[in-house]
Amino acid sequence: MRKYFISATFKSLVVCSLIILTSCNQNEEKAEAMNANVLLEEWTGPYGGVPAFDKMNINDVKHALEVGMQQNLEDIDAITANSDEPTFENTIEALEKAGKTLDRVQRYYGIWSANLSSPEFRKIQGEMAPVMSEFRSKISQNTALFNRIKTVYNNSLKTPLEDDQQRVVQLIYEGFAMNGAELDDEKKVRYAAINKELSSLYTNFSNNILADEENYAVYLTEDQLSGLSKGLVKSIAKIATEKEQDGKYAIPNTRSYMSPFLTYSDERELRKKVWENYYSRGDNADEFDNNENVAKILKLRKERVGLLGYDNYADWRLQNRMAKNPENVMILLNEVWEASTARVKEEVADMQALANANGDNITIEPWDYSYYAEKVRKQKYDLDSDEVKQYLQLDKLTEAIFFVAKEVFNYNFTAVPEGTVSVFHEDVKVWEVTDIATGEHIGLFYLDPFARKGKRSGAWATTYRSHSTFDGKKTVLASNNSNFVKPAPGEPLLVSWDDATTFLHEFGHALHFFASEVRYPTLNGGVRDFTEFQSQVLERWLSTDKVINQFLVHQKTGEPMPKALIDKIKKASTFNQGFSTTEYLASAIIDMKFHMADPTNIDVDAFERETLAEMNMPKELVMRHRTPHFGHVFSGEGYATAYYGYMWADVLTADASEAFSESADGFYDKELSAKMVKYLFAPRNAMDPAEAYKLFRGRDAKIDALMRDRGFPINK
């Protein structure tokens, strides 16, 4: 017996040793794998650590996401395993600290998705979207976690916390409650399944748009270039060569090429073809058609909010927005719609008269609008957009936005020497942002300005790291991304006035990131119908005298834009507002109508067409974003029933701009600027935006300023 006991013990020890050794080896292998995967590593180097963009490898993506999600869930388990009474510190702050590794991984993931997409990455996206959705549901539906959050929330109602802590608790509690944390187990299962299916649909929707942008192009011959600028001709010749079409000229299916072509090309049939390619993205009855995706998304969204007791998605979504409910949104949109469509009739009449006078023998169609609008602009205001472009150089505009940041925000932007900070593409440039008064480092600004294959259309701002102080001060890493047509080597990049405005718009978002003074990461989020204010208000500095006189200089002579041209621009500031406002409003209204309708047997194309007809949509133009490629709304949920937010925020923008205009120092009033930064930029989401605006203006915003801004009559 004794001999057997010793033998068994020895055998057990050997087995245990092998298990321990195996476990150690597995841990070592896991550690080695993590160390080998740069996406998982903590950011090192200068400026508080920066992403290793130059070392990222697409083969690491799946593993990095899996490890990041697992670590995040372990963080959550640590919170729920705490036997102590839930407090702000052991529950809310712990939740704010959770998932650091995954957050870093997702910064890289976002770069591949938006700036460097490829078929290889899209495959990974398709595989990981449902996995990531399941992961998010494990957190949002964690009963033990929510119970701790709810306890802290209820206690805070009895014994209030500090203001920003109270706001964090409120936002986190409402976020969990709005996303099904209080559902019963059966409904939670269905809620999670819906989210999983939606995640795949969103990814598919986005990739279909990108596919149609990459798969369609219009090729021109040399005799079809009439009206196009030399810069554009050089660019489209280069693109044709890259597509193995030497001697031809390619118009890619993106806005950055479509828009100038429709404005300047004398070839009407080619304008029609380019227009049709662009506005039929996702609507070609092929493998990339998005109509069925939209129908499924609408049905699933309605079913999901139905589990929470809401009649429609719009009611659920707007409950914590400035607008509060769909009815308030529609009141605003309809009031402006009446004025904007009336203006469209005037604009079309002007264009048709000009076409008739020229003997063009046409009736204005959507592919004619930009072309003839440009001719009317020249006729009515003697304003040539191409002449204006000679004074709008991207390099000078970059200097201009830094000047505005200095004058209004007291920020200094200094170029970071190449090689100091890694970038994901050679086109990306980096600047350090510091406080002028103190010299304190605020963050880094990354600029990725040029269009390329694999980069999504449009312009946007994003952050790689947001400001917070509760867990050690974090400085900001922010980026702006555009799709300008890259000029030939040695030539300046000239842009339109609209493009210059958009450039300032996105920089406004970046300044909003840099201005943050919040303690907690959650407060860096935003209320969707307020977050466009900061970007839209910054647009107003483009037409200020200081910017015009110093930075809007002729690309050849270096002379400032002449006063006569400036006067023409300002006089024509409300020109074509019928078009720009109506195409935007059509998209915003359709967004709301889709999400207030019963989608049970919805025919997406028919719904869009019939709803626009009911609205008396002018036949001479189209929605800014047609439904099958309305990425704001159907590639995710960021702007779903929220596209109206641009107009809501523009009411604030116009009203705030009048405050500056009424000041003796105008847009460079130091006291008013400081007040704007203090109340409308620095708090981010640390206070209710309606209250924040009142602190800035002394009252609520009024729609009158917006109507004046656009040259529309004010209803009394």
Residue 491 falls inside a structural domain? no
User: Which range is least confidently modeled, 24-28, 108-112, 649-653, 708-712?
Assistant: 24-28
- Whether the predicted pLDDT of 10 surpasses 50: no
- Whether the predicted pLDDT of 27 surpasses 90: no
- Whether the predicted pLDDT of 188 surpasses 70: yes
One domain, residues 106 and 169: yes
Amino acid identity, residue 305?
Answer: V
Residues 6+ apart with CB under 8 A from 601: none
Side-chain-facing half-sphere of 627: CA atoms under 13 Å: 26
Distance CA 333, CA 527 (A): 19
Which CATH number covers residue 153?
Answer: 1.20.1050
Residues 6+ apart with CB under 8 A from 135: 69, 72, 73
Residue 44 falls inside a structural domain? no
pLDDT per position as a tens digit, 508-530 = 999 999 999 999 999 998 888 89
One domain, residues 158 and 258: no
pLDDT in the model for residue 14:
40
Distance CA 130, CA 199 (A): 6
Distance CA 649, CA 526 (A): 12
Q: What is the mean pLDDT of residues 75-86?
A: 98
- Whether the predicted pLDDT of 22 surpasses 50: no
CB 58 within 8 A of CB 120: yes
Beta-bridge partners for 433? 413, 443
Distance CA 255, CA 281 (A): 11
Q: How many residues does the chain have?
A: 716
- Whether the predicted pLDDT of 16 surpasses 70: no
Residue 448 falls inside a structural domain? no
pLDDT in the model for residue 380:
93
Percent of the chain with pLDDT over 90: 91
Last residue of a domain, one of 231, 259, 279: 279
Distance CA 441, CA 628 (A): 44
One domain, residues 273 and 165: no
pLDDT per position as a tens digit, 315-365 = 999 998 999 999 999 999 999 999 999 999 999 999 999 999 999 999 999
CB 461 within 8 A of CB 448: no
| Exposure string over 396-406, b if 16+ CB within 10 A, otherwise e | bbbebbbbbbe
pLDDT in the model for residue 490:
87
Percent of the chain with pLDDT over 70: 95
One domain, residues 224 and 274: yes
pLDDT per position as a tens digit, 628-673 = 999 999 999 989 999 999 999 999 999 999 999 999 999 999 999 9
- Whether the predicted pLDDT of 690 surpasses 60: yes
Residue 108 falls inside a structural domain? yes
User: Which range is least confidently modeled, 12-26, 475-489, 496-510, 604-618?
Assistant: 12-26
One domain, residues 20 and 70: no
Which 3 state secondary structure label does DSSP give 448? strand
pLDDT per position as a tens digit, 407-459 = 999 999 999 999 999 999 999 999 999 999 999 999 999 999 999 999 998 99
- Whether the predicted pLDDT of 4 surpasses 90: no
pLDDT per position as a tens digit, 91-124 = 999 999 999 999 999 999 999 999 999 999 999 9
Q: Which domain holds residue 74?
A: 53-114+142-182
One domain, residues 147 and 231: no
Instruction: End-to-end CA distance of the chain: give it in Å, rounded.
Output: 103
Residue 107 falls inside a structural domain? yes
One domain, residues 57 and 150: yes
One domain, residues 94 and 157: yes
Amino acid identity, residue 572?
Answer: A
CB neighbourhood size of 309 (10 A): 9
Residue 83 falls inside a structural domain? yes
One domain, residues 99 and 175: yes
Number of folded domains that form the chain? 3
pLDDT in the model for residue 5:
31
DSSP state for residue 544 in the 8-state scheme = S
One domain, residues 80 and 151: yes
pLDDT in the model for residue 35:
55
One domain, residues 156 and 262: no
Q: List for the chain the helix, strand, coil content (%; round to 5).
A: 60, 10, 30
CB neighbourhood size of 638 (10 A): 13
Beta strands at 476-484 and 411-415: parallel, antiparallel or unpaired: unpaired
User: What are residue 344's phi and psi, to 5 degrees?
Assistant: -60, -45
Place of tokens 């995967």: 37
Distance CA 289, CA 191 (A): 26
One domain, residues 239 and 264: yes
Beta strands at 476-484 and 460-465: parallel, antiparallel or unpaired: antiparallel
Q: Which of 328, 302, 333 is nearest to 644 (CA)?
A: 333
Residue 598 falls inside a structural domain? no
Average pLDDT score, the chain: 93
pLDDT in the model for residue 716:
61
Residue 163 falls inside a structural domain? yes
